Structure 1
């Protein structure tokens, strides 16, 4: 009996020990499975790192360079494609009473229309008089100095061309104001970068005292050269950020319009026409220039 009891006791210990071992082994397997589930990519990462360590350094350098080229190419394409926005607007800008709104009406319908000072923008499709019959969005912007900045900010990015309307009859009195407005336009960072065509429409040529396009250009160049000198300190403090300015023309040389990044043309026109309200407008030169856009 004592021997049998000893055998039973030994058997119980063996079974108990085996159960403990099995229980511990099972827990370790479950823990490993949990860790593997929590880090499913760890074996893959370790494998990749091991393969990279086994590679030739020259190969690794080539791989890094190739990846860098791909990243730079993607960034460049994104910038290039985002900058290729369609600019299809023709902006009519100028001082109050320069004849922008009547010019707007004449270009669209050919009809005379009595106008008043605009306090908001007007827009309509304009079909160019060329073989392709290109269609632009003609936009008349308010000429009042308190309204100009906000409307210019709104539409400048879409400008394919800017028609700057000048009252040729009273230009001598307004030359300073005209030059200042034109200076603001041409030193704007967005306009300078996009370089829309600039058509300076010397309007009201039907009036006897009207100045010629050539004289207006010469006087504007002198006035803007003076403005550039007086504002040079302010310009030098700008860094090209939003609201900043670019330098007008070429440093070390007197300003002239040929120095600008965009095409500039001075032309004569008359929205009213030589025969008044019943006659046709004289917009031949302006329409030819718009047809070339």
Structure 2
């Protein structure tokens, strides 16, 4: 009985092989033009799938929101406020901190929020580490001492805006003009205007320095548009300036004033 069953099962396996041979014979009888059309159609489908996988994969991997800026700009307190809403005494960071941040929108979008060290000796290595995954950069500025730091702020911002990886991926940039709770601070509009002037000057001096070396500007990405004074609308990425206060106008026991920043993050 077992042998009969085995024989039946073995015989049942043959139709697939016969059908395959029959299909091959039918294909041989087809017009070559028809077969070429089939192969072209299949190639287009496969190519489309590969492209979709590449672009969708790139989009999903760029899920980091980087908090960058000079030392003492208030990045770490802002990091704490965005995540927990609570005030936390901080000190100068020497390494990055990261956590999952849920944007305040109907989609419930989540990003990886990364607080980056602000010291000039540490910044380059952390920018290099995280820039490929950046969905957005929150460039935190100390509005209270901006007039003294404008040159340093502009130089750091210039290095980001001319980075080839960032100009290609074009993450959103939010310039968070922090510490608005302190009297006589610079407004977001004034900070934007002064940065545009300073970046325009830097563009001239940096381009001249590169040109004087070998007669060309090399592989550096040119900031803005040639022949025109620089302004942020010329960049490939969206740039927004917002006013905020991680400490808050009511002090340590009160809430932070970061609603405009949260609104920007909700739109990413």
Tell me the TM-score range normalised by the shorter chain: 0.7 to 0.9
- The aligned residue for residue 248 of structure 2 is 273
Map 1:72-83 to 2 at 5 A.
81-82=53-54
> Partners of 1:238 and 1:77 in 2: how far apart?
37
Is 2:176 the partner of 1:201? Answer: yes
**Who wins on radius of gyration, i.e. which is larger?**
1
Give the C-alpha shift of residue 79 in structure 1: 7.0
Gaps of 5+ in 2: 1-32
CA distance in structure 2 between the aligned counterparts of 1:83 and 1:188, rounded to whole angstroms? 21
Q: Counterparts of 2:245 and 2:237 in 1: how far apart (Å)?
A: 25
Work out the CA distance in 1 between the residues paired with 2:48 and 2:155: 37
In structure 2, what is the Cα distance between the partners aligned to 1:290 and 1:122? Answer: 18
* Shift in Å, 1:97: 0.1
Q: State yes or no: 1:125 paired with 2:105.
A: no
Alignment partner, residue 238 of structure 1: 218
Shift, 1:72, TM fit? 11
Identify if the C-alpha distance between structure 1 residues 77 and 261 changes in structure 2 by more than 3 Å, giving closer, same or farther: farther
1:177 matched residue in structure 2: 152
Q: 1:209: how far off?
A: 1.9
The CA deviation string for residues 51-100 of structure 1, in whole angstroms up to 9 with x for no partner, is xxxxxxxx9xxx9xxx99x9999889767744551211100000000000
Counterpart of 1:257? 232
Q: Name the structure 1 match of 2:119.
A: 144
Inter-partner Cα distance in structure 1 for 2:49 and 2:158: 33
> Aligned equivalents of 1:207 and 1:247: distance in 2?
36
Matched residue SS, 1:220:
helix
Q: 1:278 to 1:74 in 2, by over 3 A?
A: same
d(CA) in 2 for partners of 1:73, 1:133: 33
**1:105 to 1:250, Cα distance in 2 relative to 1, 3 A:** same
Equivalent-residue separation in structure 1 for 2:190 and 2:131 (angstroms): 28
Q: Mark the runs of 5 or more structure 1 residues left unpaired by the alignment.
A: 1-58, 240-244
Deviation at 1:224, TM superposition (A): 0.2
| Mapped partners of 1:71, 1:188: distance in 2 | 36
How many Å separate the matches in 1 of 2:53 and 2:233? 29
| Cα root mean square deviation, aligned | 2.3
Distance change >3 Å, CA 191–CA 116, structure 1 → 2: same
- The Cα of 1:275 is off from its aligned counterpart by 1.2
CA distance in 1: counterparts of 2:170 and 2:44, whole angstroms: 27
What TM-score results when the alignment is normalised by the length of structure 1? 0.72
SS in 2 for 1:276: coil
Structure 1 residue 238 displacement after superposition: 2.2
Q: Give me the TM-score of the superposition, normalised by structure 2.
A: 0.78
Task: Give CA-to-partner distance per residue, 1:132-167, whole Å, 9 cap, x none.
Answer: 110000000000000000000000011111000000
Alignment length (residue pairs): 225
SS of residue in 2 equivalent to 1:123? strand
